[in-house]
Amino acid sequence: MRKLGLVMLVLTLAAASSVDASLQGERFLANAMAVGGVSGTFRLEFTIERWSTDEERAEFVRILLEEGQEALGNAMHAAGAGREIGYARVNARLSYPIAYAYAFPDGEGGRRVVIATDRPIDALEAMAGVRTRDYSISVAEFQLDADSRGEGALMVAAVVALDAERGALTLENYGQAPVRLRNVRPD
């Protein structure tokens, strides 16, 4: 496991103004590079049917703070299954529903995009009771410049926690390092 000292991404506690939530139909492509453990490259596609609202974001924060990581994973599973936020697709084949997609303007004409969902846990992993089950959230974050080009990271298996000292949420990644997202761009 690797603790990441990033001020969260997914559900920043401080009030933040989002990019216009009425923007719909955006799709981003990224070249992904996994390092350590299982290494390799693959193509990721994030299709955003609609952006998460401030109310949905606040509800995820409330669930995490009051009920914990497991409840957040369950809420994200229900949100991904019940709402059309979008989907993430790997190598144009395997796809996963997105439970949360939020964009923050960066003040320089670009934006920071955060995408999260529950991580599928198969029956063997659940029955074995291994520690990976605690890492039930997948999170992608990428920074786009004013020309909508950028890079970022993907944590396939993460724990979301509160850093009370900074008043922010942080992520702990299960594994050596996050997957690097390069050449992120609109499609």
Q: How far is residue 39's CA from residue 1's CA, in Å, rounded to a whole number?
A: 16
74-107 pLDDT per residue, tens: 888 887 766 679 988 888 887 888 889 999 898 8
- The answer for residues whose C-beta is within 8 angstroms of residue 59's C-beta and 6 or more apart is 75
> What's the whole-number average pLDDT of the chain?
76
Q: What percent of the chain has pLDDT over 90?
A: 25
pLDDT band at residue 61 using 50, 70 and 90 as cut-offs? confident
pLDDT of 122 above 80: no
- Using alpha carbons, list the distances in angstroms from residue 89 to 43, 47, 115, 182: 8, 8, 13, 16
The predicted-structure confidence for 143-186, as pLDDT tens digits, reads as follows 999 999 999 988 877 777 777 676 666 766 657 678 899 999 99
pLDDT at position 8 over 80: no
pLDDT(12) > 50: no
Angle, CA 145 vertex, CA 143 and CA 148 arms, to 5°: 95
Phi, psi at residue 17, to the nearest 5°? -90, 135
Question: Beta strand pairing status for 94-98 and 40-50?
Answer: unpaired
- For residues 44-58, give the mean pLDDT: 91
Query: Measuring CA to CA, which residue among 113, 86, 140 is closest to residue 16?
Result: 113
Q: What is the pLDDT of residue 14?
A: 40
Query: Taking the CB of residue 55, how many other CB atoms lie within 10 A of it?
Result: 7
Residue 74, helix vs strand vs coil: helix
Dist. CA 184–CA 108, nearest whole Å: 18
Domains of the chain by residue range: 2-186
Q: Which residue has the higher pLDDT, 135 or 186?
A: 186
| The most confident of 23-32, 117-126, 129-138, by mean pLDDT | 23-32
HSE-CB of 43 using CA atoms within 13 angstroms: 8
Rounded Cα distance between 85 and 62, Å, is 20
What is the pLDDT confidence band of residue 6, given thresholds at 50, 70 and 90?
Answer: very low
Predicted structure pTM score: 0.77
